[in-house]
Chains A and B, each alone.
Chain A
Amino acid sequence: MSTQGPKPGEFYQRDRTWHPPAFARDYKTSVARSPQYSLISLQNSMSEITGPVFGHNDIDPIDNDLIANYAKPGESPIGERIIVHGRVLDENGRPVPNTLVEVWQANAGGRYRHKKDTYLAPIDPNFGGCGRTLTDENGYYYFRTVKPGAYPWRNWVNDWRPAHIHVSVFGSGFAQRLITQMYFEGDPLIASCPIVNTIPDKAAIGQLIAALDRNATIPLDTIAYKFDIVLRGRRSTLFENRLEGN
């Protein structure tokens, strides 16, 4: 550990009015899967501020290219070719380097390559729909994929999920573990989605909508969206550090 300056300490308290609550009636599955008792709040110990560490031996360079990582030689998945890129930051605005980012999604028709998905839109033989990468030293990550389609789901009888990519991030401590979903700028289905609307604050919803990023597109090849991810920040232990028993 550095002997200079304050040490990083506990994570900032999670703002659970910003996140969706466990119980959200219009997202029906949450009704029987939400605890009724309050959460017990813990001050962090080593169990919370540490978390798994991943390295380049764990994954392959092609894993972040969903256009190539399941395609037959010389073939490509059908759909709108996109780059999704951005940074993983903490609430202090500092980059989160070398952290694992995993994504999964439906194909261009809204069909998942999953044995439980029975939607009539066809499987794309050249598309798996999952990818993973490590952020670089600046917290930067990128994927190449096809834009997923909307799909229907059994909630209310005519509910349709907006196009989305599921995103899983680790950070440096288990307390930062987060799964969320990325949506696309301008999608009219966002406003009526019961899962999106589990989030009470419009500004919080906006934080999950990736912006079209013309500056990152590859002309005549692939369009781009920018999606920054923010994980919990950590307190600097200015005057005390009681984590380790001092």
Chain B
Amino acid sequence: MVQKLDYLKESPSQTAGPYVHIGLAPGAAGFDIYRQELGWDIAGPNAKGERIRVEGIVIDGTGNPVKDVLLEAWQANADGIYAHPEHPGDVEEGFRGWGRVITDFDTGEWGFDTIKPGSVMGRDGRPMAPHINLWIVARGINIGLNTRLYFDDEAEANAKDPVINLIEWETRRKTLIATRSDRDGVPVYRFDIRLQGDGETVFFDI
């Protein structure tokens, strides 16, 4: 016999289910209850950096859009600083770096407005290419899926990114790269997420 390690176990995950909007986006469920819903403003008005829009669709293993997804984004500011007490440095007043969006019930499209993040220092002093961390929950997803959105106009930084380079299968790396276009002068990054099958998006165990 040995001593018992007295750690607790993490509460097991369960799917967010089809009605996740009631709790996390009640306006979308069809009713107003809170003074303000959380997560609609990622960067705030004072954030420096380039204003961008990020859009996409989540596709299941049959090739159909998933229309009941909730996504959360977590990103640094333009200087590569997270709005968190453990990250040395300051962010702009009103910069939260966190957002929450849902897919359209009819089309499955989602999107959010933010600023393009700066490069964040990674492990061992290796800078990470600019990226937005995404977390995806929905009916049928038993534990939230983590992925990262990188930018196709940061090819040089992406090539050196320590996380992208962890992906041994080079053909899969491109599933993490959003593609830029311009719409009425606003940069729009397209990031489609494939849950399963051809072109399956890389998901991380963080």
Instruction: Determine the main DSSP class of A at the interface with B.
Output: loop
Contact of A114 among B22, B72, B86, B142 (CB under 8 A): B22
* Separation of A22 and B197 alpha carbons in the complex (Å): 14
Contact of B120 among A46, A116, A128, A172 (CB under 8 A): A46
Contact of B34 among A60, A90, A199 (CB under 8 A): A60
Residues of B within 8 A of A112 (CB): 19, 22, 29
Find out whether the CB atom of B205 lies under 8 angstroms from the CB atom of A47: no
- A223 interface contact, C-beta 8 A: no
Find out whether the CB atom of B13 lies under 8 angstroms from the CB atom of A19: yes
- B11 interface contact, C-beta 8 A: yes
Residues of A within 8 A of B116 (CB): none
Interface string of A116-157 (1 = CB under 8 A from B): 110000000000111010000000000000000000000000
Interface string of B80-91 (1 = CB under 8 A from A): 001111111000
Q: Give the number of chain A interface residues (Cβ < 8 Å).
A: 94
- A6 interface contact, C-beta 8 A: no
* Separation of A189 and B8 alpha carbons in the complex (Å): 26
Find out whether the CB atom of B121 lies under 8 angstroms from the CB atom of A104: no
- B20 interface contact, C-beta 8 A: yes
* Separation of A46 and B87 alpha carbons in the complex (Å): 7
Residues of A within 8 A of B128 (CB): 45, 47
Find out whether the CB atom of B205 lies under 8 angstroms from the CB atom of A16: yes
Find out whether the CB atom of A245 lies under 8 angstroms from the CB atom of B123: yes
Given contacts A47-B133, A166-B20, is CB(A31)–CB(B61) below 8 Å?
Answer: yes
Q: Tally inter-chain residue pairs, CB-CB below 8 A.
A: 276
- How far in angstroms is the closest Cβ of chain B from A72? 13
Find out whether the CB atom of A51 lies under 8 angstroms from the CB atom of B84: yes
Residues of A within 8 A of B76 (CB): 46-47
- A179 interface contact, C-beta 8 A: yes
Find out whether the CB atom of A39 lies under 8 angstroms from the CB atom of B204: yes
Residues of A within 8 A of B54 (CB): none
- A81 interface contact, C-beta 8 A: no
Residues of A within 8 A of B177 (CB): none
- A175 interface contact, C-beta 8 A: yes
- A225 interface contact, C-beta 8 A: no
Residues of B within 8 A of A91 (CB): 7-10
Given A112-B29, A244-B88, 14 other A-B contacts at CB below 8 A? A14-B10, A19-B143, A33-B60, A35-B145, A46-B121, A90-B8, A102-B24, A112-B19, A113-B22, A116-B105, A179-B15, A180-B12, A230-B11, A245-B124
Residues of A within 8 A of B163 (CB): 42, 45
> Across the two chains, which residue of chain A brings its CB closest to B138?
A33
Residues of A within 8 A of B18 (CB): 114, 116
> Across the two chains, which residue of chain A brings its CB closest to B61?
A32
- How far in angstroms is the closest Cβ of chain B from A150? 14
Q: Can you list 24 residue pairs at the A/B interface with Cβ under 8 Å?
A: A14-B205, A20-B142, A30-B140, A30-B142, A36-B200, A37-B200, A41-B205, A42-B204, A46-B121, A50-B83, A59-B34, A100-B38, A102-B24, A104-B24, A115-B30, A116-B68, A128-B26, A166-B14, A166-B20, A179-B20, A198-B142, A232-B10, A233-B7, A233-B8
Most buried by A among B23, B135, B172: B23
> In the complex, which residues 21-62 of chain A have their Cβ closer than 8 Å to any Cβ of chain B?
21-22, 24, 27-37, 39-54, 58-60
Residues of B within 8 A of A60 (CB): 34-35
Residues of A within 8 A of B111 (CB): none
